[in-house]
Amino acid sequence: MLKSAEIRRQVAQRLREIFPKARGWEETADAKIGAQTVDLLAKFKLGEHEQTMVVDVVSLGQPRQIRAAVTKMSDIRKAMPAAYPVAASVYIGSQSARILKDNGLGFVDLSGNCYLAFEHVLIEKDGKRNVRPSTRPLRSLFAPRATRVVRVLLNEPGRAWRLEELAKAAAVSLGHSHNVVKRLEDLRWLERDEAQRIHLGKPSDLLEAWCESYSYRTNEIASYFVPERVSRKLMADLARVATAENRRYAFTLSAGLSLVAPQTRLSGVHCYLEGDPNPIAAALGLHPAGEADGSLHLLSPYDPGVFYAPVDKAGLKVVCLAQLYADLVRYERRGAEQAEHLRREAMGY
């Protein structure tokens, strides 16, 4: 993980690239403003207007750290009202970006995203992926078995759990569950009530962190030609054959979304399937295809935890909503947009 000083150096360079016509550029590191110290104070001229930016470097850019930056910047605004506050990190995801915009702050990251709105300036770039997605402090938290615990917590965000109940639901050992819980407590994403039961304090923060470390492409994907336009009938036939073979299955991506939060017609079907997908495809009369040419895509799960708490819709099984969101958010075909639709319509956080 990059150190704050290196992020600051690269952010300063990025700001100079964003404002190539700026004149009289001055930078001060670790500037004291009121009771706070900011990582970077930048002054420059755009046309005849003098501008001042105060930049706070946030090492991970997670929503919890971003909220702390918002609190810090509110103090700085009182001490220096004319300055424009900017948060900076290696990567600032959609939820963190939303928090900053809602509080009138700008941001810039080293992955190519930014939002700067002051005076007559509006510069916004989004949709760039994290250039360093596997941040070491969170890597173990989202390893396959650990993610089983995360998934269980996200599936029932309002529930208070005893450690034994959580371990059983996640199908992991008590010791493994304890380690994940301790890590979540260290990050202050998890809280305990008076009876020492565990519950999520900020489920949206945990979901966002998981999504930054995960892609549905972690799973092996087998694709197949479908002779006719894909439809709910294809999904029903797949479910029927899988059930007859005693195979677990669960629809995801746009197929899953079409069942739990309908919005657009299907362009393809993605479905998690336990075991070898080829006999199931053969039973449906389908032939292998390249991913770009196929309309049915059977995913061999990277971990059986993906089958946890499937949602039953019209007799068809869909992955739990947290898994569906995590799969959608990196999907190339309008995935981020569909993930937000799911969040608004069905998730509640």
Is the pLDDT at 136 greater than 80, yes or no? no
Q: Which two tokens stand for residue 34?
A: 């009121």
Q: Which two tokens stand for residue 107?
A: 């941001």
What's residue 280's pLDDT? 97
What's residue 201's pLDDT? 86
Own/partner long-range contacts of 152-155 (Cβ < 8 Å, ≥24 apart): 152/308, 152/309, 153/184, 153/190, 153/198, 153/200, 153/203, 153/206, 154/200, 154/203, 154/206, 154/207, 154/210, 154/320, 154/322, 155/308, 155/309, 155/320, 155/321, 155/322
CB 327 within 8 A of CB 253: yes
Q: Which of 306, 305, 313, 243 is nearest to 280 (CA)?
A: 243
The Cα-based distances of 332 to 97, 127, 132, 215, 252 in angstroms read: 20, 11, 19, 11, 14
Of 189-193, 269-273, 323-327, least confident by mean pLDDT is 189-193
What's residue 135's pLDDT? 47
Of 112-121, 261-270, 300-309, 336-345, least confident by mean pLDDT is 261-270
Of 2-6, 43-47, 95-99, 246-250, least confident by mean pLDDT is 2-6
CB atoms within 10 A of CB 52: 14
**Exposure string over 6-19, b if 16+ CB within 10 A, otherwise e:** ebbebbbebbeeeb
Condensed to tens digits (0 to 9), the pLDDT of residues 59-68 reads: 778 787 888 8
The Cα-based distances of 76 to 5, 53, 86, 156, 302 in angstroms read: 20, 11, 11, 38, 46
What's residue 278's pLDDT? 96
Q: Which two tokens stand for residue 249?
A: 């299955």
Chain position carrying tokens 């700026």? 22
Is the pLDDT at 137 greater than 70, yes or no? no
The tally of CA atoms less than 13 A away on the side-chain side of residue 307 is 14
| For residues 74-86, average pLDDT | 93
Is the pLDDT at 139 greater than 70, yes or no? no
- Can you give the pTM of this predicted structure? 0.69
What's residue 96's pLDDT? 87
Which is higher by pLDDT, 295 or 202?
A: 295
Report the sign of the C-alpha dihedral through residues 331, 334, 335, 336, in that order.
positive
Is the pLDDT at 170 greater than 70, yes or no? yes
215/325 Cα distance (integer angstroms): 11
Angle between helices 144-155 and 174-186 (to 10 degrees): 70
Condensed to tens digits (0 to 9), the pLDDT of residues 150-167 reads: 999 999 999 999 999 999
Mean pLDDT of the chain: 90
pLDDT band, residue 283 (cuts 50/70/90)? very high
Is the pLDDT at 2 greater than 70, yes or no? no
| For residues 220-235, average pLDDT | 93
